[in-house]
Amino acid sequence: MPPPGGTPPLHPPPDGGWGWVVVGAAFISIGFSYAFPKAVTVFFKEIQLIFNTTYSEIAWISSTMLAVMYAGGPISSVLVNKYGSRPVVMVGGLLCCLGMVSASYSTNVVELYLTMGFICGLGLAFNLQPALTIVGKYFYKKRPVANGLAMAGSPVFLSTLAPFNQYLFNTYGWKGSFMILGGLLLNCCVAGSLMRPVEPKASTESKNKVDVRETDSSMKKRQKKLSVWEKINKYLDFSLFKHRGFLIYLSGNVIMFLGFFAPVIFLAPYAKDKGIDEYSAAFLLSVMAFVDMFARPTVGLIANSKLIRPRIQYFFSLAVMFTGICHLLCPLAEDYTSLVVYAVFFGLGFGSVSSVLFETLMDLVGAQRFSSAVGLVTVVECCPVLLGPPLAGKLVDETGQYKYMYLACGAIVVLASVWLLIGNAINYRLLAREKKNINTKESQETEPLKTSQSPSVNIKSGKNEKWKGEEVNPSERETNI
């Protein structure tokens, strides 16, 4: 079992200073990464009519974008470990712009899968993972708060992008809107330029510098003889699959993400199906995002408290359960007022989960292995992220009603929370038992050492004797006595 990741690092990060500027840059990158696939759902109802497609087919656009964003995690991890966060995020901004501008020339849904889904999704992947990684390098003591503030970018951008997209569609049409959104996504390049790498502390002795250079040259010679698998493992730590806590987290998230994004994607179409006008339907996403906006930093502060931080895995599990219960109660909403109430509670649950989603992972594996952990988690999670919304759309196509989709998603999310609660309870108990066994072994090993190191006094003897493990003359021993 690897050591717990929540232990303080050997070289403490700045915990402030330029780190707050980096949090602001991560706020922009994460905001676009998570909000954009949800905000473009405003166009789906009209695109569905224009291209004459089904709910399931149109849902593949956001689903493909999210899946590529998650599947691109390992590629992003390798690039971040080799080049740093700054250039990766800037390249991601260019890819997002290219994808949306290309999407404006699409003539069918398949072309939207390739442009919006694949190209733009890959650009979002290059925005998300580097932003999450660099926040962990700048903060330790204030890390939950910093993560909560950075993750708040998603609801802030969603609350503004949803009505803004509706305005763009009514003014410029979907093609003109996509071109404008492509230019807007270039702001990710600006955010990436602010992600200055953490400067290592300079060594004080020149001899140490020479030694470091010699060791570096010898290490480079050894690295040339590394196998292909060792080179891959250098950038992606596959030993994490032997980490018990990591496996519990990963399996719980795979279940959760199967029903996590579909309720957001179908919220506006669900409201329009109830006879609500398009602006009011888009406003539901803004209400949810507004609550989510305040929930994330608030939950980050709560998670940073002395009471919650040692038990943050339990806190995450309960937040997931609360979100699932909200989806189970959604079919009771029959009018616009009740849908607004659902959006408020959904925003609270969604914000609580999102605020500590990656903080719990960093708590398990530590900041040093976090980049690899995010890459491995996202590539595994891309399967449920890809399949969840289309399966939900298929359920709507078969039943003709949205309520069964919300009930199914709620049941899946609640099941994931129960799995995480039980798994974390077992993991915490085993960790406590392992720690107790280690302390017992250490105490048993130190007791014989204490008895063997006790001084032996023999005043009458004139021979050399052991005094605290050293050989001394009798006269010297008497003086010491």
- Alpha-carbon distance of 125 to 253, in angstroms, equals 18
Give which of 343, 349, 380, 374 is closest to 360, Cα–Cα.
374
- Give the position of tokens 């719980």: 252
CA-to-CA dists, residue 25 to 129, 390, 415, 442, angstroms = 13, 32, 35, 46
Lowest mean pLDDT, pick from 25-39, 134-148, 423-437: 134-148
- At residue 462, the pLDDT reads 46
419 or 163, higher pLDDT = 419
Instruction: Tell me what the pLDDT averaged over the chain comes to.
Output: 80
- Alpha-carbon distance of 161 to 164, in angstroms, equals 5
Give, as one character, the DSSP assignment of residue 308.
T
- At residue 448, the pLDDT reads 62
Indicate the pLDDT class of residue 102, thresholds 50, 70 and 90. very high
CB 396 within 8 A of CB 55: yes
Residue 301 CB neighbour total at 10 angstroms = 14
- Counting every residue written for the chain, the total comes to 481
- Alpha-carbon distance of 212 to 169, in angstroms, equals 59
Q: Which two tokens stand for residue 133?
A: 């990684």
Give the percent of the chain with pLDDT over 90.
22
pTM of the model: 0.68
Give which of 279, 282, 397 is closest to 38, Cα–Cα.
282
Q: Is 464 helix (H, G, I), strand (E, B) or coil?
A: coil
What would the DSSP string read from start to end of 235-277?
HS-GGGGG-HHHHHHHHHHHHHHTTTSHHHHTHHHHHHHTT--
Q: Which two tokens stand for residue 27?
A: 């706020």
Q: Which of 48-57, 126-135, 220-229 tops mean pLDDT?
A: 126-135
Residue 2 has pLDDT above 70, yes or no: no
- CA triple 175-178-184, angle to 5 deg: 150
- CA triple 195-200-203, angle to 5 deg: 160
Report the pLDDT averaged over residues 301-315: 86
Residue 261 has pLDDT above 90, yes or no: no
- At residue 44, the pLDDT reads 81
